[in-house]
Structure 1
C-alpha cells in the first residue's frame, strides 16, 4: 500500500470511528432523556407530556408520552397544542416592552396614568406589575373567585374584581408572585394600543414570529391537534374543570406547541420583536426598595442551572402544567408541557437542561 493510500485509509477509519462515536453519544443522550421523563410520565394509557430540547435554535430531542385525548384514545405528538398557563406572562411582558419602544408608555409610568381611579395607582408603576412587587391582591387567592370563574369578564370587570382589596404590602417592598398585576398589564396593553389583548398578541407577536399553532385559549374554537386537559381523582382521570379564559386573561390564557415556543425563543434571541437593549430589561434582576436583589425580571425567573445563568418560567392552569428553561450562554432551550395538572414537568425540564449541559461539556 502506498503512503498516500495509507493516509487516506487512516483518515477514512478516523472519520468512521468519530461518526460512530457521535451516533452512540446521541443515542445515549436520547435514552437517558427518555429514562428521565419516564420516571414520571410512564402511563401510556393516560394523559402525558411533550418535551423538547433545542440547541442553537434547533431541536436535538423532541418526544411525546401518553394520550392527547383519553376518550378518543389519541396519542400525544410533539405537534399538540397545550394551554400555557403562566408562561403567558412572557408574552404580556414583551408586549409592554414593545409599546415602550414605540413611545406609547414607559415602565416607570404609574398605573393611575391609565386607570385614574385605581387605589394607590399613583404609587404603583408598570415596573411593579411586571416584577410582582406591586403588593396588590392576587385574585387567585380570593375566596370569591369561584363566583366569576365561568363568567365572561371584560378586562375592566376583572380589574374591578380585585382593585378594592386591601394591599398586601407597599409597592416595591417585597416580591410576591401576582396574577392580578399581569391582568392589569393586559388591560393597559388594550388601553394604550386600541386593540384587544388577543388581537395584539396575535398580530404583533404570533403572526410576526410565525407561531401558526398558537392561540388565545378557547374551549369552543376548533383547534387542530389540541391536547385535552385532565385532573386525576382517586378513581381515575376526569376532564378538566371549565373556566372562562377571560378570568386569567393576560396572566395565563395563551396556548401553543413546543415548536412554536422554540420560534418564540429564537425571535427573542434574534431581536425580531425588541432591540437588544430593551430585550435585556426583561432578563435583568431588579431590586426592592431596601436595595435587596430578587431573582425575577419581566416575565421570567432569573436563576442558575449547573452554574450557568438561566431564564425560566412555568405555568399551571386547570388540566395543564408547563415549564420552559433557557440557558443563554449555550443557547439551550428546554420545554415540557403536560396535559394533566396531576404531573408537573418542572423538575424534569430542569433535569433535562442539566443533562444537556453535561453532554455539551463532555463534547468540548
Structure 2
C-alpha cells in the first residue's frame, strides 16, 4: 500500500499541482494581456483625436494671437505656452520666450511646466477612480483611513470642494517642522497629528480654498491603493491617456527630468532670478504635477469624452458644491466653476514662479491652456483676450474644411 501511494498517488498529486499552477499563470497572463490591450486601445483613441485645423482656416486668428503673444512677451515678461482648442481640434499652439535664461534656450513643445494648483484636478480624478472602483465612498471620513487624524468628521467631499476647514499645512511646515529636508505627505500627516493646530471651522460650514485638503486626498489615494500617489496617477491616468510628458515631482525625493523648467522672477526689471525650492515642495496632491500644453489637451479630451471617468463622475466634478446650510460653493471636485456661468470650468495655479491656467467654456466647446514660468500675473486677463480674439477672428466652415483636417 505504501509503495502504491509512493509510485502512483504522489506523482499524480505533483502533476495536478503543476497543471493548476500552469493554468493559473496562463490566466494571469491573459488578464495582463487584456489590460495591455485596453491601455493600447485608449492610447490609440486619444492619439487619433488630436486633430488640428489646417493653416488656411486659422491664418487670421493665428496672426492676431501671434501679435498678442509678442506684445505680452515684451511688455509683461511672458515666457510660456498657449494652446487653444475649439470643437475637439487644436486651433492654435505656440511657445514664446526662454526656457533657461542663463543658456538662452527657447521654450518648445517639449518644455515641461509645474502646474501648481491646476494639479488638483488630477488628485480629484484619482479619488473618483477609487470611488468608481468601490474602494471608497465620498461620505467616508479621513479617520476611516487615518484613525489618528485630529480633525474629526471631515469627509472626502469636504476635502474635494474645500469645505473641510482644515489649517494651512504651509504654516504647519514652516513653524512646526524641525528638519532641514522638506516633509513628504506621510510625514506631514504625522505632523498634523501632533502639532495641535486648530481648524478654521467645523466641516461643511464654509468654503475656504485649501491646499491642505488636497494633500490629504493624495494621502488617502496612497493609503487605499498601497502605492505612491505618483505611481497611482502614472499608471491610471498619464499612461492610459498617452500623457508621456506628464509626471508628479516631489522635491528631495524625485530626480528632475531633462525638459523640466525652473520658475523665475524678474529682478529690477531686467534680470531673471531662479526661484529656490521651499520647505513645502515635497508635498503632492495640491501641486507638483508637471506637464505640457499638449498633454493637458489630451487630458481634457479624455475627461470630457468619458474614456477615463464616467459621465456621472464628471458631472460631480463640474458641479457647484454646497455648504451644510445649502449655500452654493464655486468649486466642484478639482475645478473652479464661475459664480455666474456654470459652463465656465477652470483652474489657475501659482507657485514658485509658475503661473498656469486651464479654462473650458463648455457651451462654446472651447479650451484655453496657458502655462508660464516667470511669475506672469495676467492669466485671467490673457484668457479673456484670447477668447475674444477667437470669437472675432475664427470662422469655422465645416463644409469647406472638413476634408482638410491635419493629424498630429
Say if 1:165 and 1:218 are closer, same or farther in 2 by CA, change over 3 A.
closer
State the shift of 1:190 in Å: 0.5
Matches within 5 A, 1:164-183: 164-183=196-215
State the shift of 1:43 in Å: 6.5
Give the match for residue 319 of structure 1: 353
> Does structure 1 residue 273 correspond to structure 2 residue 305?
no
Give the match for residue 261 of structure 2: 227
Q: Deviations over 1:10-37 (max 9, x none)?
A: xxxxxxxxxxxx9787333223223333
Question: How far apart are the structure 1 equivalents of 2:375 and 2:354?
Answer: 5
Say if 1:281 and 1:308 are closer, same or farther in 2 by CA, change over 3 A.
closer
User: Aligned match of 1:87 in 118, 136, 158?
Assistant: 118
State the shift of 1:129 in Å: 0.4
State the shift of 1:113 in Å: 0.7
Q: Secondary structure at the match of 2:130?
A: helix
User: Aligned match of 1:55 in 54, 66, 86?
Assistant: 86
Question: How far apart are the structure 2 equivalents of 1:327 and 1:52?
Answer: 14
State the shift of 1:78 in Å: 2.9
More helix per residue: 2
User: Aligned match of 1:243 in 270, 278, 283?
Assistant: 278
Whether the 8 Å CA contact 1:36–1:348 is kept in 2: the answer is no
Worse-superposed segment, 259-268 or 248-257? 248-257
User: Aligned match of 1:215 in 247, 258, 266?
Assistant: 247
> Does structure 1 residue 153 correspond to structure 2 residue 206?
no
Question: How far apart are the structure 1 equivalents of 2:382 and 2:229?
Answer: 32
Give the match for residue 135 of structure 1: 165
Give the match for residue 389 of structure 2: 355
Say if 1:362 and 1:47 are closer, same or farther in 2 by CA, change over 3 A.
closer
Q: Deviations over 1:144-200 (max 9, x none)?
A: 269579624232211233453111112111111100000100100001111100000
Structure 2 alignment gaps of length 5 or more: 1-53, 399-408
The Cα RMSD (Å) is: 2.7
Q: Secondary structure at the match of 1:167?
A: coil
Structure 1 alignment gaps of length 5 or more: 1-21
TM-score by length of 1: 0.85
> Does structure 1 residue 120 correspond to structure 2 residue 117?
no
Q: Deviations over 1:291-327 (max 9, x none)?
A: 111211000011179x671110011111211101012
State the shift of 1:139 in Å: 1.8
Count of matched residue pairs: 340
> Does structure 1 residue 71 correspond to structure 2 residue 102?
yes
Structure number with larger C-alpha Rg: 2
> Does structure 1 residue 144 correspond to structure 2 residue 178?
no
Question: How far apart are the structure 2 equivalents of 1:359 and 1:150?
Answer: 53
TM-score by length of 2: 0.76
Q: Secondary structure at the match of 2:215?
A: helix
Give the match for residue 19 of structure 1: none
Say if 1:37 and 1:52 are closer, same or farther in 2 by CA, change over 3 A.
same
State the shift of 1:244 in Å: 6.0
Whether the 8 Å CA contact 2:62–2:92 is kept in 1: the answer is yes
Say if 1:232 and 1:113 are closer, same or farther in 2 by CA, change over 3 A.
same
Q: Secondary structure at the match of 1:322?
A: strand
